Structure 1
Amino acid sequence: MPNPSPKTLSVRRVPREEALSSPSAGPATSRLNKRMAELGLCSRREADAWIEQGWVRVNGQVAGMGMQVTPADRITVDKAAEQKQQQQVTILLHKPMGYVSGQAEDGHQPAVTLIQARNHWKGDPSRTRFTPQQLRGLAPAGRLDIDSVGLLVLTQDGRVARQLIGEDSDIEKEYLVRVVWQGPQGEISQDVQAVFPREQLARLRHGLSLDGKALKPAQVDWQNPEQLRFVLKEGKKRQIRRMCEQVGLKVVGLKRIRMGRVTLGQLPAGQWRYLAPHERF
């Protein structure tokens, strides 16, 4: 039976004159799995699996593990890899309080234990049917603290994970954050907006540091007198809670409602749905 035709990725080939004029000894190289991830073909882990299966070719030759490539090299991927990738799922969960995002810790269950048929939202427009195979390699792309609720993305697709939590990710994450003001006259939980200093709000937007590193600018505004709306482009551990602590605020409720262009919407707490084919982060 003939092998399926490979999927070819168009990569700009460096002209010979440009290569010769480079001051370096030769074109820069990188590991094949890293290059494939940079091109958005797959994750590094997936790339290694495809290379091991013999599904990846460089300039027409079957690639070997750990191979070095240049931007001028032509990378092709067999249809078998593409078909396997299409079977991967991305799941949107409304994480309730009391569940951890990743591995079980301190006796608390991981959020992935909620991904079962009985918790599949009846309003999910997707026609995908749940199977236990969809749990294999399903991992959170971003975290929510045990005391936080809202949108948690779990995916089998390394491309989605890289887009949401990769080093170069620029995806917005939106949160609604209920706070109390721990001011000079004690704790204030009503009409916090009226007493919270404007200069401290400005610091939340830009000017704070965590772990010795300056934070990226954030969008922070009052949603109502007791609730702030945060839009971040990074996700350090307990970032919003730690930011608020630095300006005298205590977080008493935190809910993520959006990641990129995908919103929590009407998804009930403790239930999940599939990311639809037309949805993009």
Structure 2
Amino acid sequence: MTDPVRLSKCVIELTGCSRREAELYIEGGWVTVDGEVVEQPQFKVEGQTVALLPGATPDPQEPVTLLLNQPAGLSFEAAQRVLNPESRWPEDRAAVRLLRSHFARLTTTLPLQPGASGLLVMTQDWRALRKLNEDANKLEQEYVVEVSGTMLDKGLDRLKRGIKVKGQDLPPVKASWQNETHLRFALKNPKPGLIAAYCSAVGLKVVGMKRIRIGGVPMGKVPVGQWRYLVQAERF
């Protein structure tokens, strides 16, 4: 019987690398134990076979940004539980090696309107987070809103000019019909409940809403409950 050995020590013995390089190999998803990838340097090995995958490099992992098509009504904590390797959109073409560490240390900003589904940004990247926070009042958010009822006469014009509700002025907003039951709204950093207030002001009731874009980044065809990576060419 041999005592369990840390995986990082096994990698050092296998490659002759430094401790830090061993940790980077492991955290990068390049190390297997009996054929299964293990990403924890402290994992205990008891006689199993440790190997490196082809092309392994001890490079630091870049922080990632995930774009989740969030189901309506979930808290941030519940939305995090939706994220896993199995819920990645099968058509995601991002050239990113999926690692379980991509689901750790995620932060979000620009929350959805109450009751809405759609694009939620979850990121490890401080640069993306700073961009979203600092430019929140500049970045246009686009929602598709399902409504019921009959719009007041010239309701779209009223929305585009700005409208007063119970003594409160609602600013002008870009609004257009997508079809008979769905409106598109494009607005910057909307306060919670603002879209519902716009709809109510012109005689409509919100049935459901979905955020489909933040700045230059669209949700795309990702189904509800699935996610994709933000690719390098995309800019908020």
TM-score by length of 1: 0.56
State whether structure 2 residue 177 is matched by structure 1 residue 222.
Answer: yes
State whether structure 2 residue 218 is matched by structure 1 residue 263.
Answer: yes
State whether structure 2 residue 209 is matched by structure 1 residue 254.
Answer: yes
The more displaced of 208-217 and 268-277 is: 208-217
Number of aligned residue pairs: give it. 178
Q: Equivalent residues in 2 for 1:1-281 (5 A)?
A: 87-100=62-75, 102-103=76-77, 110-145=78-113, 147-166=115-134, 169-181=137-149, 192=150, 196-198=152-154, 200-208=155-163, 214-281=169-236
* CA distance 1:137–1:208, shift in 2 (3 Å): farther
* Partner SS state of residue 231, structure 1: strand
Equivalent pair of 2:67/2:228 in contact (CA under 8 Å) = yes
Equivalent pair of 2:67/2:120 in contact (CA under 8 Å) = yes
Consecutive unaligned residues in structure 1, runs of 5 or more: 1-82, 104-109, 182-191
CA offsets per residue over residues 101-131 of structure 1, 9 Å max, x none? x34xxxxxx2121111110111111232333
Between the aligned partners of 1:150 and 1:93, the Cα distance in structure 2 is 7
Consecutive unaligned residues in structure 2, runs of 5 or more: 1-58
Matching residue's letter, 2:196 = R
Equivalent pair of 1:142/1:235 in contact (CA under 8 Å) = no
* CA distance 1:133–1:264, shift in 2 (3 Å): same
Please name the residue that 2:14 is paired with.
none
Matching residue's letter, 2:173 = A
* CA distance 1:126–1:218, shift in 2 (3 Å): same
Between the aligned partners of 2:70 and 2:221, the Cα distance in structure 1 is 13
CA-based RMSD: 2.7
Q: How far 1:172 moved relative to its partner?
A: 1.0
* CA distance 1:146–1:92, shift in 2 (3 Å): same
Between the aligned partners of 2:228 and 2:183, the Cα distance in structure 1 is 27
* Partner SS state of residue 94, structure 1: strand
Between the aligned partners of 2:94 and 2:223, the Cα distance in structure 1 is 16
Q: How far 1:216 moved relative to its partner?
A: 4.3
CA offsets per residue over residues 252-277 of structure 1, 9 Å max, x none? 02111111111121111111010001
Between the aligned partners of 2:208 and 2:232, the Cα distance in structure 1 is 32
Equivalent pair of 2:163/2:172 in contact (CA under 8 Å) = no
* CA distance 1:217–1:137, shift in 2 (3 Å): farther
* Partner SS state of residue 129, structure 1: coil
Between the aligned partners of 2:99 and 2:136, the Cα distance in structure 1 is 33
Between the aligned partners of 1:238 and 1:112, the Cα distance in structure 2 is 23
Equivalent pair of 2:85/2:100 in contact (CA under 8 Å) = no
